[in-house]
């Protein structure tokens, strides 16, 4: 297990440098003036231009720029936003909020998704299964922001059960509706994945053997079918973190949540390129680390991975 | 199924007169995409306590379906549509799920076929053994259950039982996994054990040990055993009663030895005639030889010096044909990367030498890991030789490159084992057989078509096959197409790698007959790779026994079977189920 | 002939009467059956499912709307705006009401189909082509090519598609459907490449590949004629679904304001524009959202049907 962890960490390093390099490259190395690109139609004042130049070391050769930037990442110097605040401060303030939102969403989507998927898979072809399939397809087809608007309208305005926007401290209770919105698409995918996995495992040989041993149906389902069906779901969760981050930008935008996503959202709206880049870079790093955690969890769940050389 | 003869209950050798298991008129059907299929159409048989009964049949006979229906393990689409299953007098077809669950494991145990897929890979062995123990009330309390689990593993023949508890299925070998499954099946000393092809996925020497062990345990516990098998020899050895099934019906049943010595039903007669383990001689070709491998070197119109020269030529030709395929000190090393930076060497083939005379069949026999398949790949030049030589008709093949290698391919062709993987499912039969001709640029479209028809004819398949696809055909039909493809380029040598191992007994016999006829007709030389020593007797002139990459023993088939010199060879021979019996024809 | 009258046989030796258990020839060929390739099988499986027909009709419908919007409405989507109509309700000739600017919602939905579908289609085609080529080469030839491609794929994969698109779209000067499609494909190709690579690795070790190699067929030809056709089915399924998800991605980018420029008519842009007055007039947002959802739904349903039809385990059961 230790060996597996070490190997995964080692594999992470080139990917880390590659991905950050790619982001940096896209922004600063493409033909054209990066300043113009970053700010689009807006014309920032010369003072700001000067500051940006210095911050991103635009006068130096590209590789040096990149390395200085990476160095900055490690020391916590991520540059400053338009309002003059250091990006790192913004990040520290916003991160816990988004973290709470994401955790809630993960909780909702996993528990609900696995339970619904399990029942659908066990009763394949029956009414519950077919409706679960239809609902999940709908949730994937309707973009998250539409779901957000609709739920905000219905629950926030019409039924007035929830606040339509979230306050700046963003306590757990206020994050419930946004978390549901955020979780909706992932919930659909998890239902489908669990359902397919369960249906497949139901006809697996080892399930037949378990039944032949005289185990109760309940135990066969819980200990054998479900347990084995969890593995692909866990794998999916790793990729899902990425879509959660994108979804966070949208959801936090709609509900006016002052988290990482919301900051990126506003920065995009205001055309603040540099902020967008910094935040995205950090999000990508978090994505990579989350994936690493998921890989480790996967090894815990599947001994074949753990013991493979 | 109505029987006009009366069938008295067996007064037999059993101690009690009440049957343990009675199957009466059992009918089972399956819902499939193409409609309803009657898999079992009225089966009757009876088992007494302590008795051993074997159900024998080919695939599709309904034997496995019958057995799994006893404990209601039919896959979702299957259901019992008629008849009764009486276990100790109680009709299991009418049992409630709770009653079935109580009976399963405790009164009726089950040992499945494939040890790899039948153990859950994510739970430890100990976990899976212990849950069986707990579910059947054999022991309660954590320590007692654990102790019992250790006992079960020990009885199953696994050493270091307490260490094994924590390990996972993928860390065990096939034989060990099967022992675990047997242990689990017997853990609550059931009255009946259903063993569904319990050893067919294992190496031959392992098979015998496990079956012996199973026999000891069941005898000690007084457990009745219901064997499902396709192997007549095994049935004769391990069971007193035999039930022969064909297409969902029982065609013959009764004392196993009697049935095999004196089969009455035509189907049973076919089975007995075709069973390799019971055979004692090489299949003879049904046609007279038409092909001679010797170029006619006549003595006409020659003076003395010329006569000498021609005699000399004939002698040379004779020598070349005697060692048409000559393998010397053949070695193949693989480098395996272990985790990290270490690499180890695997000697898959270690200093192997043999020669095959033209027009004969040489069998390479061995268990898994013996290197026999690797030798085949080396001869076919699908893998590169590490050292040593392979020479065909005097030419060393290892050095061939480019066009020479391309031309060489025409002379040596393969037939592989897995009938479901050896033909591209996307290619029609006609295109598959024509591929060699297309690749080597032989003929035009019309002449190729003609040749394809010819080849289909040669393997006794109708010409209408050309438009079919492998997915619709049976295993035997696919293998015959593979043979037709191999013949397309008129090769001299065919390498058959487990070519009949996946086929049903009667189909296997058919394909072996075909191969023998083709050999006589076309003067082919065969290198026949197999793990089944019984098949060797049917098809091979000479044998090489391989173990761990080396040749352990070599000789003619008769010699090896009559006087095996090496211990390993003797083990392989003894492992053939039913080899010691005398059987009727 | 009942067995117990035959001498020498024990009474419980039972033989079934031959007329009840007739023997067939061993391994006989059924010549009356029509040939069925695996594509035939798949087609048979699909055409019996109502879901297939529903989604096929919907998809065709959407494509026709995208190609010939004039057939569906004579109202102009861009002119004829009158402020009094702003956010007006549905009336005759304007079944979906009016936008904030007083334009006909229905006309905009119809004309907006083209942009959304173009982005989805283009991105899918790009991603599938690149993914198939790279994935099969990497899986088939292995070695350094595979290592390089895998690392490269890991790097692109590490950046979630829309996130990367956000960054790139922020800095690109021009935004057209083509650009958006390119940007989305840039971050989405590793998924298809991985699937193709895995599939090729599996097909590569089949016996029919070995048999063709033993015939002398060149390595490259084996890849093209044997390996790829057998490895491609999972990619087809994912590609069908991807079309749907790309359309959603474009809409998300437009919602954020960095997708297609406001001058291009697309569902995403219309949804975005209708946001401000959501409280008072939800319909100008609902209609394009519904159109988008129905379109994506039809592709997802088709993807499900195709996957079930091509599933090898289902095929084995037939």
Dihedral angle sign, alpha carbons of residues B463, B466, B468, B474: positive
What pLDDT, on a 0 to 100 scale, did the predictor assign at position B12? Answer: 43
How far B68 CA sits from the closest chain A CA (Å)?
9
For an interface test with B, the pick among C37, C203, C211, C218 (most B C-beta atoms closer than 10 Å) comes out as: C211
Domain ranges of chain B: 18-274, 307-574
Task: Give B338 or B532, the one with higher predicted confidence.
Answer: B532
- CA distances C66 to C69, C116, C119, Å, are 6, 9, 12
Residue-wise over C123-141: b if at least 16 C-beta within 10 A, else e? Answer: bbebbbebbbebbbbbbbb
Chain B CB contacts of A216 under 8 Å are: 101, 135
Kindly state the tokens that stand for A189: 């995918």
Cβ contact, residue pair B105, A208, below 8 Å? no
What pLDDT, on a 0 to 100 scale, did the predictor assign at position B547? Answer: 93
Find tokens 């528990």 and name the residue. Answer: A111
State whether residue A31 is helix, strand or coil: coil
- Rounded to an integer, the average pLDDT of A256-272 is 83
Confidence of residue B4 (pLDDT cuts 50, 70, 90): very low
The answer to whether B409 faces chain C, any CB pair under 8 Å, is: yes
What pLDDT, on a 0 to 100 scale, did the predictor assign at position A206? Answer: 93
What pLDDT, on a 0 to 100 scale, did the predictor assign at position B180? Answer: 93
Task: Give A154 or A241, the one with higher predicted confidence.
Answer: A241
Gap between the Cα atoms of B174 and B180, Å rounded:
10
Gap between the Cα atoms of B50 and B239, Å rounded:
11
Confidence of residue B148 (pLDDT cuts 50, 70, 90): very high
Kindly state the tokens that stand for C82: 């009158």
- Rounded to an integer, the average pLDDT of B510-538 is 91
- Rounded to an integer, the average pLDDT of A101-111 is 93
Cβ contact, residue pair C252, A32, below 8 Å? no
- Rounded to an integer, the average pLDDT of C239-265 is 88
Chain C: residue whose CA lies nearest to A242: C160
Give kind and range of the element (H or E) at residue B551. strand B550-556
What pLDDT, on a 0 to 100 scale, did the predictor assign at position C239? Answer: 92
Q: Is the pLDDT assigned to residue B5 strictly greater than 50?
A: no
How far B422 CA sits from the closest chain C CA (Å)?
4
Cβ contact, residue pair B414, C208, below 8 Å? no
Confidence of residue B8 (pLDDT cuts 50, 70, 90): very low
User: Which residues 185-244 of A are in CB contact (within 8 Å) with B?
Assistant: 202-206, 208-217, 219, 223-224, 227-228, 231
Strands of chain C, DSSP E: 14-15
Q: Closest Cα to residue B185, out of B124, B128, B123, B116?
A: B128
Confidence of residue B10 (pLDDT cuts 50, 70, 90): very low
Residues, chain A: 309
Burial class (CB in 10 A: 0-12, 13-18, 19+), C202: middle
Confidence of residue C246 (pLDDT cuts 50, 70, 90): very high
- Rounded to an integer, the average pLDDT of A152-157 is 78
Chain C CB contacts of B34 under 8 Å are: 318
- Rounded to an integer, the average pLDDT of B405-433 is 89
Tens digit of each residue's pLDDT (9 = 90 or more) over B209-262:
889 999 998 899 899 999 999 888 888 889 999 999 999 999 999 999 889 888
Confidence of residue A30 (pLDDT cuts 50, 70, 90): low
> How many beta-carbon contacts under 8 Å exist across A and C?
140
Task: Provide the percentage of residues in chain B whose pLDDT is more than 90.
Answer: 51
What pLDDT, on a 0 to 100 scale, did the predictor assign at position A31? Answer: 62
Q: Is the pLDDT assigned to residue B7 strictly greater than 50?
A: no
Confidence of residue B55 (pLDDT cuts 50, 70, 90): very high
Q: Closest Cα to residue A144, out of A170, A178, A171?
A: A178
For an interface test with C, the pick among A246, A248, A278, A287 (most C C-beta atoms closer than 10 Å) comes out as: A246
3-state helix, strand, coil in chain B (%, to 5): 40, 25, 40
Q: Is the pLDDT assigned to residue B570 strictly greater than 60?
A: yes
Chain C CB contacts of B267 under 8 Å are: 21, 23
How far B348 CA sits from the closest chain A CA (Å)?
21
The three-point CA angle A129-A131-A136 to 5° equals 95
Domain B307-574: which CATH class?
Answer: alpha beta
ipTM of the complex: 0.84
Gap between the Cα atoms of B429 and B439, Å rounded:
16
Confidence of residue C70 (pLDDT cuts 50, 70, 90): confident
Chain C CB contacts of A22 under 8 Å are: 155-156, 159
Task: Give C298 or B16, the one with higher predicted confidence.
Answer: C298
Q: Which residues of B touch A (CB under 8 A)?
A: 71, 73, 75-76, 97, 101-106, 109-110, 112, 114, 117-124, 131-132, 135-136, 168, 170-171, 181, 184-185, 188, 338-340
How far A173 CA sits from the closest chain C CA (Å)?
24
Chain B CB contacts of A302 under 8 Å are: 121-122
Tens digit of each residue's pLDDT (9 = 90 or more) over B266-301:
999 999 888 887 666 677 776 666 555 555 566 666
Chain B CB contacts of C16 under 8 Å are: 1, 3, 249-252, 265
Confidence of residue A165 (pLDDT cuts 50, 70, 90): confident
For an interface test with A, the pick among B122, B169, B180 (most A C-beta atoms closer than 10 Å) comes out as: B122
- CA distances B10 to B7, B15, B243, C14, Å, are 8, 11, 14, 11
Gap between the Cα atoms of C109 and C91, Å rounded:
16
Confidence of residue B184 (pLDDT cuts 50, 70, 90): very high
Kindly state the tokens that stand for C51: 């879901």
Neighboring chains of B (3 or more beta-carbon pairs < 8 A): A, C
Q: Is the pLDDT assigned to residue A21 strictly greater than 70?
A: yes
Task: Provide the percentage of residues in chain A whose pLDDT is more than 90.
Answer: 24
Chain C CB contacts of B485 under 8 Å are: 211
In a domain, C193, yes or no: yes
Tens digit of each residue's pLDDT (9 = 90 or more) over C98-108:
777 778 888 88
The answer to whether C141 faces chain A, any CB pair under 8 Å, is: no
Gap between the Cα atoms of A183 and A188, Å rounded:
9
Residue C110: give the domain boundaries: 42-66+102-317
Kindly state the tokens that stand for B90: 């109680």
Tens digit of each residue's pLDDT (9 = 90 or more) over B456-508:
999 999 998 898 888 888 888 999 999 999 999 999 999 999 999 888 889 89
Residue C195's CATH number: 1.10.3720.10
- CA distances B584 to B272, B277, B385, C9, C86, Å, are 7, 13, 47, 14, 98
What pLDDT, on a 0 to 100 scale, did the predictor assign at position B585? Answer: 40
Gap between the Cα atoms of B26 and B70, Å rounded:
10
Task: Give A74 or C286, the one with higher predicted confidence.
Answer: C286
Task: Provide the percentage of residues in chain C whose pLDDT is more than 70.
Answer: 93
Tens digit of each residue's pLDDT (9 = 90 or more) over A193-241:
999 899 889 889 999 999 999 999 999 999 999 999 988 898 888 889 8
Cβ contact, residue pair A219, B135, below 8 Å? yes
Cβ contact, residue pair B250, C208, below 8 Å? no
How far C213 CA sits from the closest chain B CA (Å)?
7
Instruction: Assign domain B18-274 to its CATH architecture.
Output: 3-Layer(aba) Sandwich (3.40)
In a domain, C111, yes or no: yes
Confidence of residue A82 (pLDDT cuts 50, 70, 90): low
In a domain, C30, yes or no: no
Q: Which of A81-95, B427-441, B453-467, C190-204 has the lowest mean pLDDT?
A: A81-95
The answer to whether B477 faces chain C, any CB pair under 8 Å, is: yes
Gap between the Cα atoms of C318 and C313, Å rounded:
9
Confidence of residue B307 (pLDDT cuts 50, 70, 90): confident
For an interface test with B, the pick among A124, A206, A207, A212 (most B C-beta atoms closer than 10 Å) comes out as: A212
The three-point CA angle B583-C1-C4 to 5° equals 70
> How many beta-carbon contacts under 8 Å exist across A and B?
93
Cβ contact, residue pair C17, B423, below 8 Å? no
Give kind and range of the element (H or E) at residue A195. helix A176-202
Confidence of residue B46 (pLDDT cuts 50, 70, 90): very high
Chain B CB contacts of A227 under 8 Å are: 120, 122-123
Chain C CB contacts of B509 under 8 Å are: 26
How far A12 CA sits from the closest chain B CA (Å)?
16
Cβ contact, residue pair B131, A212, below 8 Å? no
Contacts 24+ apart (CB under 8 A), B164-168: B164/B125, B164/B126, B165/B124, B165/B125, B165/B126, B165/B129, B166/B124, B166/B125, B166/B126, B167/B124, B167/B125, B168/A303, B168/A304, B168/A307, B168/B121, B168/B122, B168/B123, B168/B124, B168/B125
Confidence of residue A309 (pLDDT cuts 50, 70, 90): very low
Neighboring chains of C (3 or more beta-carbon pairs < 8 A): A, B
Number of folded domains that form chain C:
1
Tens digit of each residue's pLDDT (9 = 90 or more) over C121-130:
999 999 999 9
Gap between the Cα atoms of C165 and C168, Å rounded:
5
Q: Which of A303-307, B487-491, C219-223, C265-269 has the lowest mean pLDDT?
A: A303-307
In a domain, C93, yes or no: no
Chain C: residue whose CA lies nearest to B482: C211
In a domain, C176, yes or no: yes
- What DSSP character marks residue B25? E
């Amino acid at each position: 297990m230790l060996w597996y962890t070490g190997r995964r960490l080692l594999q992470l390093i080139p990917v880390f440098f590659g991905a950050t390099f790619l982001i940096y490259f896209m922004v600063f190395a493409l033909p054209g003036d990066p300043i113009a690109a970053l700010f689009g139609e807006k014309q920032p004042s010369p003072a700001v231009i000067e500051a940006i130049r210095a911050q991103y070391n635009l006068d130096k050769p590209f590789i040096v720029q990149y390395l200085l930037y990476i160095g900055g990442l490690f020391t916590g110097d991520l540059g400053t936003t338009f309002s003059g605040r250091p990006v790192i401060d913004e990040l520290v303030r916003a991160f816990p909020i988004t973290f709470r939102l994401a955790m809630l969403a993960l909780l909702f989507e996993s528990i609900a998704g696995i339970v619904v998927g399990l029942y659908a898979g066990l009763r394949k072809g029956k009414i519950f299964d077919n409706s679960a399939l239809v609902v999940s397809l709908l949730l994937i087809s309707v973009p998250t922001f539409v779901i957000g608007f609709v739920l905000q309208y219905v629950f926030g305005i019409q039924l007035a059960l929830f606040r339509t926007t979230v306050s700046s401290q963003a306590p757990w209770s206020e994050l419930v509706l946004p978390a549901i919105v955020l979780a909706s698409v992932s919930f659909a995918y998890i239902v489908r994945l669990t359902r397919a996995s369960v249906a497949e495992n139901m006809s697996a040989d080892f399930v037949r053997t378990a039944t032949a041993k005289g185990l109760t149906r309940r135990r066969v389902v819980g200990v054998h079918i479900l347990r084995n069906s969890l593995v692909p779901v866990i794998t999916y969760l790793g990729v899902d973190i990425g879509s959660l981050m994108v979804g966070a930008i949208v959801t936090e935008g709609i509900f006016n949540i002052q988290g990482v996503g919301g900051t990126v959202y506003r920065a995009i709206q205001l055309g603040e390129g540099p902020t967008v880049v910094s935040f995205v870079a950090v999000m990508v790093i978090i994505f990579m680390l989350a994936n690493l955690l998921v890989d480790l969890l996967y090894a815990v769940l599947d001994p074949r991975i753990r013991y493979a050389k | 199924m109505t029987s006009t003869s009366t069938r008295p209950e067996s007064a037999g050798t059993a101690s009690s007169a009440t049957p343990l298991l009675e199957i009466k008129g059992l009918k089972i059907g399956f819902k499939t995409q193409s409609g309803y299929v009657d898999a079992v159409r009225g089966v009757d048989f009876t088992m007494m306590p302590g008795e051993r009964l074997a159900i024998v049949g080919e695939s599709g006979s309904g034997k496995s379906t019958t057995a799994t229906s006893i404990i209601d393990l039919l896959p979702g689409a299957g259901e019992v549509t008629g008849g009764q299953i009486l276990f100790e007098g109680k009709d299991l077809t009418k049992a409630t799920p709770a009653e079935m669950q109580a009976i399963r494991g405790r009164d009726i145990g089950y040992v499945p076929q494939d040890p790899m897929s039948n153990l859950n890979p994510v739970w430890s062995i100990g976990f899976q053994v212990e849950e069986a123990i707990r579910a059947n009330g054999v022991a309660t309390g954590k320590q007692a259950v654990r102790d019992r689990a250790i006992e079960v593993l020990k009885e199953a023949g696994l050493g270091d039982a307490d260490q094994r508890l924590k390990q996972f299925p993928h860390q065990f070998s096939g034989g060990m996994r099967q022992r675990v499954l047997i242990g689990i099946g017997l853990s609550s000393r059931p009255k009946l054990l259903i063993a569904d092809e319990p050893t067919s996925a294992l190496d031959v020497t392992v098979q015998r040990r496990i079956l012996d062990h199973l026999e000891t345990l069941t005898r000690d516990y007084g457990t009745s055993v219901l064997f499902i098998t396709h192997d007549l020899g095994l049935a004769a050895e391990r069971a007193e009663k035999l039930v022969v099934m064909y297409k969902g019906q029982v065609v013959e049943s009764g004392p196993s030895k009697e049935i095999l010595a004196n089969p009455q039903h035509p189907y049973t007669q076919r089975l007995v005639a075709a069973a390799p383990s019971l055979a004692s001689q090489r299949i003879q070709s049904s046609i007279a030889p038409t092909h001679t491998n010797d170029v006619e070197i006549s003595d006409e119109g020659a003076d003395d010096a010329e006569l000498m020269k021609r005699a000399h030529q004939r002698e040379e030709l004779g020598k070349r044909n005697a060692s048409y395929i000559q393998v010397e000190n053949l070695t193949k090393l693989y480098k395996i990367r272990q985790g990290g930076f270490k690499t180890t060497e695997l000697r898959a083939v270690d200093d192997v030498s043999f020669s095959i005379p033209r027009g004969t069949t040489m069998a390479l026999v061995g268990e898994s890991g013996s290197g026999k398949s690797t030798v085949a790949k080396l001869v076919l030049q699908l893998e590169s030789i590490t050292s040593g030589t392979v020479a065909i008709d005097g030419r060393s093949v290892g050095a061939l490159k480019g066009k020479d290698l391309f031309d060489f391919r025409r002379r040596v062709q393969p037939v592989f084992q897995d009938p479901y993987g050896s033909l591209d499912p996307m290619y029609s039969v006609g295109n598959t057989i024509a591929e060699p001709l297309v690749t080597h640029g032989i003929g035009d479209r019309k002449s190729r078509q003609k040749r394809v028809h010819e080849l289909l004819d040669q393997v006794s398949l109708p010409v209408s096959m050309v438009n079919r696809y492998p997915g619709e055909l049976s295993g035997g039909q696919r293998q015959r197409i593979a043979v037709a493809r191999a013949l397309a380029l008129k090769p001299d040598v065919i390498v058959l790698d487990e070519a009949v191992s996946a086929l049903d007994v009667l189909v296997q016999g058919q394909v072996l007959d075909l191969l023998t006829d083709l050999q006589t007709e076309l003067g082919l030389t065969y290198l026949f790779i197999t793990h089944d020593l019984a098949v060797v007797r049917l098809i091979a002139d000479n044998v090489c026994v391989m173990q761990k990459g080396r040749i352990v023993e070599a000789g003619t088939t008769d010699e090896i079977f009559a006087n095996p010199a090496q211990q390993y060879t003797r083990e392989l021979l003894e492992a053939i189920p039913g080899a010691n019996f005398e059987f009727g024809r | 002939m009942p067995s117990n009258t035959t001498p020498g046989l024990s009474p419980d030796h039972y033989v079934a009467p031959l007329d009840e258990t007739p023997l067939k020839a061993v391994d006989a060929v059924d010549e009356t059956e029509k040939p069925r390739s695996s594509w035939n099988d798949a087609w048979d499986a699909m055409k019996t499912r109502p879901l297939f027909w529903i989604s096929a009709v919907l998809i065709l419908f959407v494509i026709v709307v995208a190609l010939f919007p004039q057939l569906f409405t004579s109202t102009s989507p861009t002119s004829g705006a009158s402020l009094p109509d702003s956010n007006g309700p549905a009336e005759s000739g304007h079944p979906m009401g009016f936008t904030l600017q007083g334009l006909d919602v229905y006309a905009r939905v119809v004309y907006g189909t083209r942009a959304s579908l173009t982005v989805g289609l283009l991105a899918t085609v790009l991603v599938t082509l690149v993914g198939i080529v790279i994935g099969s080469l990497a899986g088939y030839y292995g070695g350094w090519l595979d290592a390089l491609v895998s690392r490269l794929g890991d790097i692109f994969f590490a950046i979630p598609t829309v996130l990367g698109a956000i960054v790139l779209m922020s800095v690109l000067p021009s935004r057209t459907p083509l650009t958006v499609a390119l940007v989305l494909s840039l971050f989405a190709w590793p998924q298809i490449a991985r699937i193709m690579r895995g599939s090729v690795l599996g097909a590569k070790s089949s016996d029919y590949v070995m048999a063709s190699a033993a015939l002398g067929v060149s390595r490259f030809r084996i890849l093209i004629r044997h390996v790829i056709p057998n490895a491609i089915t999972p990619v087809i399924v994912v590609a069908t679904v991807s079309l749907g998800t790309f359309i959603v991605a474009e809409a998300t980018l437009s919602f954020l304001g960095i997708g297609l420029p406001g001058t291009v008519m697309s569902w995403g842009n219309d949804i975005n524009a209708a946001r401000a007055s959501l409280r008072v007039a939800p319909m100008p947002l609902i209609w394009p959202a519904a159109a988008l959802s129905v379109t994506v739904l039809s592709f997802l349903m088709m993807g499900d049907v195709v996957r079930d039809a091509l599933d090898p385990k289902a095929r084995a059961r037939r």
